[in-house]
Chains A and B, each alone.
Chain A
Amino acid sequence: DAMVIQNPRYQVTQFGKPVTLSCSQTLNHNVMYWYQQKSSQAPKLLFHYYDKDFNNEADTPDNFQSRRPNTSFCFLDIRSPGLGDAAMYLCATSREGSGVLGGPKNIQYFGAGTRLSVL
């Protein structure tokens, strides 16, 4: 039944070693989001894909990149993780705009998250 699936649930990486987190969805939503959530803080939007269009938040570090090879998958790449990048990373999807069928619009559905540790 899982609709937004994030793998792995836990990821340990070394300082400076590139890491990729993955997200897949079975909802056929056209928008996919990546959030960073640090302990006791609100989820913070890093970027999102609206269809194939990438939208980066102004304050997202260059160290964070994303790829969306198709509708179902989206990846978060951290090129050189630092200790400050240890966090929970949340993927979400939503259906936006006209001409996209299926389910309510403007509601984001979240995955369970990937907890990243940096050693």
Chain B
Amino acid sequence: AQSVSQHNHHVILSEAASLELGCNYSYGGTVNLFWYVQYPGQHLQLLLKYFSGDPLVKGIKGFEAEFIKSKFSFNLRKPSVQWSDTAEYFCAVSGGTASKLTFGTGTRLQVTL
């Protein structure tokens, strides 16, 4: 069975600080990897995805993530966070089909002015 582990449950950063959120997964085959964001009161939105190819993927709003196969990791990064990045961030993984999307428990990011 696939599983996803997010190490940071709650992160507080000042504006302009750099961000890295950890995500490790467990799955025996080819994986698709995702980061979703949920702003307060809003629906889950896709931030970025990795299916194949360049392991460094860029998403919306200046976010990027790097797939490191040897470490089973897909960490999310942003060089300089903004107050508007305050949200909950979910890492997710699916196997051969997207029918089995498994989420991590999420990381709540709070950006202070």
How many of A's residues come within 8 Å of B, CB to CB? 25
What 1/0 flags go to B24-67 for Cβ under 8 Å of A? 00000000101010000011111001010000000000000000
Residues on B with C-beta less than 8 A from A78 are: none
Given contacts A42-B90, A43-B90, contact A108 B101 (CB under 8 A): yes
Interface residues of B (CB under 8 A from A): 4, 32, 34, 36, 42-46, 49, 51, 90, 94, 97-106
Are B46 and A107 in contact, CB atoms less than 8 angstroms apart?
Answer: yes
Say yes or no: is A68 at the interface (Cβ < 8 Å to chain B): no
Whose C-beta in chain A lies nearest to the C-beta of B51? A106
- Contact partner, B97, options A40, A96, A109, Cβ 8 Å: A96
Interchain residue pairs A-B with the least CB separation, the first 9: A42-B103, A110-B44, A106-B98, A112-B43, A42-B105, A110-B43, A94-B98, A43-B103, A108-B101
- Apart from A43-B44, A45-B102, what are 19 other A-B pairs with CB-CB below 8 Å? A31-B99, A33-B101, A40-B106, A42-B4, A43-B90, A44-B103, A50-B99, A90-B44, A92-B44, A96-B99, A105-B98, A106-B94, A108-B46, A109-B46, A110-B36, A111-B43, A112-B42, A112-B43, A113-B43
